[in-house]
A and B are shown apart, each in its own frame.
Chain A
């Protein structure tokens, strides 16, 4: 056991999953779906990749809830900021 107080997950396996997701998003570009569907899918995959990096490489899984709040609140603020700006497109 280490002096960090938490176990280390299998980082190589996590890296393998990240590469797999990268190639899934690359392959999605060539599928016969509309651009909207493809782009949505690609960004869902990107969000999953980001969550995997934050959870395992950045150890959010093992962190105290205070650190998780510090990480998650700006993400929520970013989503709100983007959504509140979208109606601006309609007024152009």
Chain B
């Protein structure tokens, strides 16, 4: 607790509140995704070979591409944060744009995957694996959409020049959120694409 008090002495209160608020939100998000993951693992353990026969129809290649895309977007948003920290506005703007493009790329790959799967007859009603697959990737996809809105807003602020008047810490907060979206995918990838 004394450290928390010491922290407020060194940093403006709104910065402490912003970061704490984001971490608190992410803590609740861990339980949201954790609930799905726990139930998925239990169903997977309780069912036998039928699960594997359903799970082997997902595209590991597409999943791998999207993992690389998200990991890279985590790098670019943290580079944007680093650039802001070093007062390098141009680099910050560029890294925000690259992150935005990568986020759209992720959704694009996911859309191709969904279209292929549905056209092959795999829908949320096909079986328990597919129900989990569409709900978990769908919820994660909604988080990606949320990230796009937030990062897009930061990028617009950056090109308008309004990001630099004390509001640049938002890049750090949105960055935390975006890294969390990446971490969720780090677990969804082996759960859905590798454990057949």
List the interface of chain A (C-beta within 8 A of B).
Answer: 2-5, 8, 11-12, 14-15, 18-19, 22, 25-26, 29, 39, 42-43, 45-46, 49-50, 53-54, 57-58, 64-67, 70-71, 73-75, 77-78, 81-82, 85-86, 88-89, 92
- Please, which residue of chain B has its CB at the minimum distance from the CB of A85? B42
B67 CB–A CB distance under 8 Å: yes
- Please, which residue of chain A has its CB at the minimum distance from the CB of B43? A89
Question: B85, A4: Cβ atoms under 8 Å?
Answer: yes
State how many angstroms separate the Cβ of B71 from the closest Cβ of chain A.
Answer: 5
* Interface size bracket, B side: 35 or more
- Please, which residue of chain A has its CB at the minimum distance from the CB of B25? A70
Contact residues of B between 173 and 191, Cβ < 8 Å to A: 175-176, 179-180, 182-183, 186-187, 189-190
Given contacts A29-B194, A54-B179, A77-B31, 14 further A-B pairs with CB under 8 A are: A4-B85, A8-B82, A45-B190, A50-B187, A53-B186, A64-B3, A66-B1, A71-B26, A74-B30, A74-B34, A78-B37, A81-B35, A85-B39, A88-B42
Question: B194, A42: Cβ atoms under 8 Å?
Answer: yes
Please classify the interface of chain B as helix (H, G, I), strand (E, B), loop, or mixed, using the class held by over half of its residues.
helix
B38 CB–A CB distance under 8 Å: yes
Question: B82, A11: Cβ atoms under 8 Å?
Answer: yes
State how many angstroms separate the Cβ of B140 from the closest Cβ of chain A.
Answer: 14
A-B Cβ contacts below 8 A, count: 117
Question: A85, B7: Cβ atoms under 8 Å?
Answer: no
In the complex the two chains form, what is the Cα distance from A22 to B85 in whole Å?
29
Question: B38, A25: Cβ atoms under 8 Å?
Answer: no
State how many angstroms separate the Cβ of A42 from the closest Cβ of chain B.
Answer: 5
- Given known A67-B19, A67-B23, A85-B38, contact A78–B31 (CB-CB < 8 A): yes
B4 CB–A CB distance under 8 Å: yes
- Given known A25-B194, A46-B189, contact A89–B23 (CB-CB < 8 A): no
Binding stretch for chain A, among B73-81, B143-151, B152-160: B73-81
Contact with A along B56-69 (1 / 0, CB 8 A): 00001000100110
A46 contact from B1, B10, B26, B186, Cβ within 8 A = B186
CB contacts (< 8 Å) of A58 on chain B: these are 175-176, 179-180
